[in-house]
Every structure is written in C-alpha cells, then in structure tokens.
C-alpha cells in the first residue's frame, strides 16, 4: 500500500508542475500581447512587402499600398496583382518606366475615401486617372506641390 501512495503523490506532483508551467506561459502571453489595430497591421505588412520588391523605390510601393488600403481596395473592380504580384508595375492600372511609377489609371474602379497624402511619393507620375470613383475630400496639397511631371489629372 505504501508504494502506491508514493506513486500517486509523485504523479500528482508532476501534474501540478506541468499545470503551473502551462498556466504561467498563458499568463505571460496574455500580459505581453497588445492589441494591434487593422491600420497598424496594414502598415507593417506593407513595409515588409515593399522592402522585398525591387520594381520601384520603396516609398512609391508604400504609397500604392496605402492607396489600396485607404480607398477600399478589396472592393475595386480591377485589382489584378494588387497585394499579390511582387512586381508593382504589373498591378492593374499601374504603369512604370525606368523603375518609377509614371501612370496611375484607376478610373471607374470603385475607389472610396480620401486621396492619401503619400501619393506625393510618386514624383515621376505624369498621368493620374481617378474619375468616376467615390473619392472624398480635397486633393492633398503635398501631392500637388511635389508632382513636377504631372500633365494629366
């Protein structure tokens, strides 16, 4: 009978140790976890995506991704390649030359919301076609100021 009680006690002790380790791990995970809003998560994923692509400068890639995120990109009519194709120059509506975005034609594409200021990073842009969408607000001042090549708006 004595042998059995030692085995029972040891088994219970091991269970207690294992339970304690699992509980402590869960508690640490909960305490260290911080909520991340969708916009912050989008910026982080955009930074990772744009750091790996080599078709255009990183700032231009990030500007295009922010345009997609802020104008309801998942519901665009033509969105082939966006967030999927690593070459941003192959995305629907994007035209590049010399490793720069030179044209953005997203007419009648269900864009909604404000035009993001980050589009000012597209400094080689010569044509911007946004007509027949539901964009709101003014064209950002930064965008107009830093677009020396823009001939069609």
Model pTM score:
0.68
**pLDDT given at position 51:** 87
Name the stretches of the chain with pLDDT < 50: 26-43
Count of H helices and E strands in the chain? 4, 5
The matching CATH number, chosen from 3.40.190.10, 3.40.640.10, 3.80.10.10, 3.40.50.1220, for 38-145 is 3.80.10.10
Burial 60-71 (b: 16+ CB within 10 A, else e): bbbbbbbbbbbb
């Amino acid at each position: 009978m004595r042998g059995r009680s030692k085995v029972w006690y040891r088994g219970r002790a091991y269970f207690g140790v294992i339970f304690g380790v699992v509980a402590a791990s869960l508690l640490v995970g909960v305490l260290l976890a911080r909520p991340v809003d969708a916009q912050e998560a989008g910026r982080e994923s955009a930074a990772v995506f744009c750091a790996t692509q080599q078709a255009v400068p990183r700032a231009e890639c990030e500007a295009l991704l922010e345009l997609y995120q802020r104008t309801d990109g998942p519901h665009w009519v033509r969105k082939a390649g966006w967030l999927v194709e690593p070459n941003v120059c192959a995305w629907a509506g994007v035209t590049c030359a010399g490793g720069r975005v030179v044209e953005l034609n997203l007419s009648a594409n269900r864009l909604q919301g404000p035009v993001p200021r980050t589009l000012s990073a597209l400094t080689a842009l010569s044509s911007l076609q946004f007509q027949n969408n539901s964009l709101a607000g003014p064209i950002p001042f930064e965008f107009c100021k830093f677009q020396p090549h823009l001939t069609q708006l």
